[in-house]
Chains A and B, each alone.
Chain A
Amino acid sequence: MIGTENTAVAEALVKEYRRGAETVRALDGVSFEIRHGEMLAIVGPSGAGKSTLLHLLGCMDTPTSGQLTINGRSTSGLADRELTRMRRELVGFVFQHFALLPTLTVAENVALPGLFARRRAQKHADELLERVGLSHRRTHRPHELSGGEMQRVAIARALINSPKLLLADEPTGNLDTASGESILSLFRALNSEGLTVVLVTHNEALAKATNRIITLSDGKLVSDLRRSE
């Protein structure tokens, strides 16, 4: 199943959380694959396991059982150090609450992952700010920006290490419609340049704008619809 055209392959993914005595099965046998250059949305009711799945795709955690292969490499049973390396090299993460550091300027926030990748990233950061249309804000602090601008900064930060996979957990959840649309068009533009994008969303419009929608319910994959062009 591991083909070069796949960015990620999930096989019978199970993720369990232990909460005191009981075990919560957040993901229950999920299988699918993500091709290079795809843009897909993960939808489903609250508690369905969408964030859990995204965290697994983002190498932030390992599955309880099943196989997950990112860019040809299995994450099961990897040590923390290896997972960190994959996070750093393969994925970019965008959060609902932006998660920018208030003490750093916009440009410094974008370059931040470079610090941990031991690489000078300021120049690339400036290019990315240009790309998301925020060059004029580079020396500002995050609290001086609007929500939409903050999310664009966060997207620029997610791109700094040139990831293979861009993951976003409800990126428009904290934004008004107009800002949400500008974020969406940014994702589409990035995707059209070949970046694989996975969005978790409750937003219908956002989901419909992708070319594939995966629906989760109760930890199970209930539908996987690909739009045929």
Chain B
Amino acid sequence: MLTLAIRNLARRRLRTLLTISGIAAAVAVLASLLAFGQGYRSGLNRELNAMGIQMMLVPIGCPYDAAARVIKGKALDVSLPDASLGAVRADSAVAVAAPVLMAAIPRPTEGRTDLWVGVDRDILPLKSWWKMKQGSTWFTGPDSVILGAEAAATELRQIGDPLYSPETGKTFRVCAILERSGTTDDSQFFIPIATAQNMFDQHGRLTAVAIRLKDPSLLAGAADRLQQTPGAQIVTMGEMMGTFLNLVETVRTLLLAIGAIAAAIGALTVFNTMLASVVERAAELGMLRAVGASRLDLFWLLGLESSLLAICGAMIGVAAAATLGPWIEKAVRTLVPMAPQGALLRLNPTIVGECAAMGLAVGIAAGLFPAWQASRMKPVEAMRAR
């Protein structure tokens, strides 16, 4: 029976191939998307953990939005008073408190927006992944600027070069260039916080204060105390993770929807192929009935054919997901906001298994109706169909 099924499939090579690729594509897309979703989640986790901050002081407003913007490097419209930094640093539980002032300078002629970030030395322990290029030094004066690798490349600047900012009319001197890290830092301009406050007319204002505690167990008390800071509120990492995970969930739902469409296409391909095959082979199926095949026999035969299609499709799909993964990842990365660094596509056995099972189930299910059609055919009528 198996031989018969295989030979039948081999008879229409092109159609069989097309059907198999249909399922393969569906499985590959689904596997990549799911793997991406999972990688995205764990990558984000890793990145947030690497910062080693437990909470953040942000202006009153939408706290999660604010926190997300600071972490991923987006300018904020509201700000904190300078004095809140002092309050944070004075708290006994705080190990590091790094003030940040962010401002975006749109560059419509270049088609991008530069992000300028005012920081002080306290940012260093929080940016553990920063590596400076040879010859870099920390800010030497108020006109020093540290360039992200990307920013240095687009501005064509080396260490020691002057950097003119036409929008603000100021000239800086490049004191350091960061190695590429795959984070949003790559494209940012870091300047002393006081310089940033002057440059953007934000005297005595901050975008946020990132806080690392001496001990994570002090979190609850410290959060309560700092919550009292006027005009500011505390967002803890836990809350922030929640927000991010919500975001990831949304992305996942989107990916699943795309996956469902892919699955539907796979199913339709099998359905169409098998149905065409049944109609086309009506006389032949009638002959099989005449020589003693039961309804069940024909149902099995056709079911076997669609199962073979589904199995081949699922296997090729998984293989394709594994090999094409990096390209898919690159494509998705440009579409999804705030993609964390590191490899996102993690094909683990669970995902592969799930997707292969999905491909199989869909393929086999789609073959059921045509198989039933075949088994329902009366031998005499089928013979007449010739």
B7 touches A103 (CB 8 A): yes
B293 touches A84 (CB 8 A): yes
Chain B residue, CB-CB nearest to A80:
B295
B7 touches A116 (CB 8 A): no
Considering the chains assembled together, what is the distance between the CA atoms of A84 and B288 in angstroms?
A: 11
Q: Give every chain B residue within 8 A of A58 (Cβ-Cβ).
A: 290
A145 at the interface (CB under 8 A from B): no
B386 touches A103 (CB 8 A): no
B287 at the interface (CB under 8 A from A): yes
0 or 1 for each of B1-45: is its CB under 8 Å from A? (1 = yes): 101100110110000000000000000000000000000000000
A101 touches B284 (CB 8 A): yes
Q: Give every chain A residue within 8 A of B291 (Cβ-Cβ).
A: 87-88, 93, 112-113, 116, 157-158
A103 touches B292 (CB 8 A): no
A95 touches B8 (CB 8 A): no
Q: Give every chain A residue within 8 A of B284 (Cβ-Cβ).
A: 99, 101
Q: Give every chain B residue within 8 A of A95 (Cβ-Cβ).
A: 287, 290, 383
A97 at the interface (CB under 8 A from B): yes
0 or 1 for each of A19-49: is its CB under 8 Å from B? (1 = yes): 0000000000000000000000000000000
Interface size on A, residues (CB 8 A): 27
0 or 1 for each of B273-292: is its CB under 8 Å from A? (1 = yes): 00000000001100111111
B10 touches A103 (CB 8 A): yes
With A97-B386, A103-B7 as given contacts, are A161 and B379 in contact (CB-CB < 8 Å)?
no
A81 at the interface (CB under 8 A from B): yes
Considering the chains assembled together, what is the distance between the CA atoms of A188 and B300 in angstroms?
A: 38
0 or 1 for each of A132-149: is its CB under 8 Å from B? (1 = yes): 000000000000000000
Q: In A110-146, which residues have CB < 8 Å from any B CB?
A: 112-113, 115-117
A104 at the interface (CB under 8 A from B): yes
With A95-B287, A103-B11 as given contacts, are A116 and B383 in contact (CB-CB < 8 Å)?
no
With A95-B287, A103-B7, A104-B7 as given contacts, are A84 and B292 in contact (CB-CB < 8 Å)?
yes
Considering the chains assembled together, what is the distance between the CA atoms of A161 and B379 in angstroms?
A: 18
Considering the chains assembled together, what is the distance between the CA atoms of A89 and B288 in angstroms?
A: 14
B293 touches A60 (CB 8 A): no
0 or 1 for each of B114-154: is its CB under 8 Å from A? (1 = yes): 00000000000000000000000000000000000000000
Considering the chains assembled together, what is the distance between the CA atoms of A153 and B293 in angstroms?
A: 19
Interface size on B, residues (CB 8 A): 24
Considering the chains assembled together, what is the distance between the CA atoms of A84 and B4 in angstroms?
A: 20
A202 at the interface (CB under 8 A from B): no
Considering the chains assembled together, what is the distance between the CA atoms of A95 and B8 in angstroms?
A: 21
Among B284, B289, B291, B383, residue most surrounded by chain A Cβ atoms (within 10 Å) = B291
Q: Give every chain A residue within 8 A of B297 (Cβ-Cβ).
A: 116
Q: Give every chain B residue within 8 A of A116 (Cβ-Cβ).
A: 288, 291-294, 297
B380 at the interface (CB under 8 A from A): yes
Q: Give every chain B residue within 8 A of A61 (Cβ-Cβ).
A: 378-380
* Contact for A115 among B1, B289, B380, B383, CB less than 8 A: B1
Considering the chains assembled together, what is the distance between the CA atoms of A48 and B196 in angstroms?
A: 102
B292 touches A113 (CB 8 A): yes
Interface residues of A (CB under 8 A from B): 55, 58, 60-61, 80-81, 84, 87-89, 93, 95, 97, 99, 101-104, 108, 112-113, 115-117, 157-158, 161
26 CB-based A-B contacts, threshold 8 Å: A55-B379, A55-B380, A58-B290, A60-B289, A60-B380, A61-B379, A80-B294, A80-B295, A81-B294, A84-B289, A88-B291, A93-B291, A95-B383, A99-B283, A99-B287, A99-B290, A101-B4, A101-B284, A102-B11, A115-B1, A115-B293, A116-B288, A116-B291, A116-B293, A116-B297, A161-B292
- Listed from nearest, the 3 A-B pairs whose CB atoms lie closest are A88-B292, A103-B7, A99-B287
Other A-B contacts than A61-B378, A108-B3, A116-B288, 14 sampled, CB-CB below 8 A, are A60-B289, A60-B378, A84-B292, A87-B291, A89-B292, A99-B284, A99-B290, A101-B7, A102-B11, A103-B4, A103-B7, A103-B10, A113-B292, A161-B292
